[in-house]
Amino acid sequence: MATDTIYEVSQDLKLQYPKKYKVYLLNDDYTTMDFVIDVLMNIFRKSYEEAQDIMLEVHKKERGLCGVYTHEIAETKVMQVLTKAKDNGFPLKATMEEE
């Protein structure tokens, strides 16, 4: 038995990159600069010099950009910051914004 099957392939396939999100640390009057540097080095994998620059940006401009990630990774980074801060008795906050 012969079967003639025709397949139609759409050439209009459009792939999109996932949206990116910026993660910021927010300034407060209680979290120590050393703790912020530690968070930046351990959670965001920044060098000491990069961490110091971001920490100063947080201090002077009320927030500092830590990195740009996909939604799931950005959300995880924010939660890691909040957990580490709470465990160490600091009110440090992190937020994420769509790029």
**How many CB atoms are located within 10 Å of the residue 77 CB?**
20
The separation between the first and the last C-alpha atoms of the chain, rounded to the nearest angstrom, is: 57
In a 13 Å sphere around the CA of 55, the CA atoms on its Cβ side amount to: 19
pLDDT tens digits, residue range 19-74?
Answer: 999 999 999 999 999 999 999 999 999 999 999 999 999 999 999 999 999 999 99
Ranges assigned E (strand) in the chain = 20-26, 63-70, 93-98
Rounded Cα gap, residues 5 and 11, in angstroms: 19
Rounded Cα gap, residues 77 and 24, in angstroms: 10
Q: Is the pLDDT of residue 12 over 90?
A: no
